[in-house]
Amino acid sequence: MGCQGKLPQPSLCSSERLAIIAQMILDPLAERYLSHLRVEGGLSVNTVEAYRRDLSKFHSYLERKGVVPLGPLTTETFTGFLRFLQEARLSRASSVRCLSAIRGWLRFLIRERMIEASPVMGPAPVSRGVRLPKTLSQHDIVALLDLGTAPTPEDLRDRTMVEVLYATGLRVSELVMAEFAHMNLDVGYLRVTGKGAKQRLVPIGEVARQLLQQYVEEARPRLLKGRASRYVFVSRRGRPLTRQAFWKLLRSRARRAGITQVISPHMIRHSFATHLLEGGADLRSVQVMLGHANIATTQIYTHIERARLKLVHDRYFPRKPASRVKNIPEKM
């Protein structure tokens, strides 16, 4: 019978019905794809959630353009989506991740035989470019860490978290999800779970270790009020702090310390790496402490390494530039 029925109501072949059917199929498929990334790909929960938001952006764009998600996709569709990302003023890194999520999604749909193989697998990867990490000066770091503590368990907890963040270079998610059983204050080490569910041992500086000891003995029991928690840093409800809550407390402490620039937890992480290299640490050691799987990721800090090598060379190379040689008078 085909799709040319004479009844006035919308036919089953209308674009609206096709979109509804596609969405009903798409939702469980998307969950399977994201579950695959988490289980097989070893991606962290935060990365998977970022991919979920990326797919949502893509499907919202397709819906506005009247494109059925499981229908044929053209080069113009992707070009238009690229323009959409640019107009949304996403950072280059976020755009790269978004396009990577979409290309992976299309490959998944092809494997599941939901769409046919197509030369249009998304635009070519966008170069991230080279962007130097934003850091705080050592003067600002000292002002932030030496900020006085109010006589409340929350304030001691907050000061300890900031000190530990700078002392270890943890990601904010690693900090807020640090587990009590993975902390050894006698030796001064913390075991954390990073990206890809990979664990690493991170040394804790002596100042951070002493603050942690004080927090564990004095503030943490007052916050828990007899309850149990496997997490190191907890709220009065006995739950771990969220990343958003830590961002808020960090910026509040920065303002109290007289730091005018807007800071983030990742800026503290960058400062940790930068100050280590400025102090003479080698790039490989910094890579291990940061939990970078590839040394190339750590090489964003090589401008510091180059500057230090130049300083060492200028200081110790024996052949120094001499003052201009005066004209030697001719023999009389």
Catalytic residue list: 171, 195, 266, 269, 292, 301
- Reduced to 3 states (helix: H, G, I; strand: E, B; else coil), residue 134 is coil
Which among 51, 143, 126 has a CA at the least distance from the CA of 91? 126
From first CA to last CA, the distance across the chain in angstroms is: 119
Which among 60, 68, 66, 124 has a CA at the least distance from the CA of 95? 124
Please enumerate in sequence order all residues whose Cβ is within 8 A of that of 315, keeping only pairs 6 or more positions apart, or say none. none
User: Around Cβ 165, how many Cβ atoms within 10 Å?
Assistant: 24
Residues facing residue 240 across a β-bridge: 234
- Could you tell me if 176 and 241 are in contact, meaning their C-beta atoms sit under 8 angstroms apart? yes
Q: Which amino acid is at 156?
A: L
Which among 332, 307, 304 has a CA at the least distance from the CA of 132? 304
Between strands 189-193 and 183-184, the pairing is antiparallel
SS3 content of the chain, % helix, strand, coil (to 5): 55, 5, 40
